[in-house]
């Protein structure tokens, strides 16, 4: 356990950030799965921008790597074009 007051606060804030990042990451993964499962092109086109925005936010906050976000967006775009 940390001895300094600032170290204790850092532990608490890191835990809060970890939970928030975990929630956002899981939500984004589910959105990607939902988008991949859609068979209607119209519906996929409406979901696509929101999923891309979620991926961009995760990459900006360093929850996922920017290249991973780019690869996911590229794959989703390819899947969307195939519909």
Estimate to the nearest angstrom the gap between the alpha carbon of 3 and the chain centroid: 35
Helices (H), the chain: 5-37, 41-60, 66-82
- Per DSSP, the three-state class of 24 is helix
pLDDT band at 12 (very low <50, low <70, confident <90, very high): very high
Q: What percent of the chain has pLDDT over 90?
A: 95
pLDDT band at 1 (very low <50, low <70, confident <90, very high): confident
Q: Is the pLDDT of residue 47 over 80?
A: yes
* Closest among 53, 56, 54, 32 to 44, alpha carbons compared: 32
Count other C-beta atoms under 10 Å from residue 68's C-beta.
13
Question: What confidence score (pLDDT) does residue 2 get?
Answer: 83
Average pLDDT over the chain reads 96
Kindly state the average pLDDT of the residues 50-64.
Answer: 97
For the chain, list the domains and their CATH numbers. 5-82 (1.20.58.110)
């Amino acid at each position: 356990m940390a001895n300094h007051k600032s170290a204790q606060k850092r532990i608490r804030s890191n835990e809060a950030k970890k939970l928030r990042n975990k929630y956002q990451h899981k939500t984004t993964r589910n959105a990607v799965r939902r988008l991949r499962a859609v068979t209607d092109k119209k519906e996929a086109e409406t979901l696509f921008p929101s999923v891309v925005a979620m991926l961009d936010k995760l990459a900006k906050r360093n929850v996922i790597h920017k290249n991973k976000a780019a690869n996911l967006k590229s794959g989703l775009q390819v899947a969307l074009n195939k519909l």
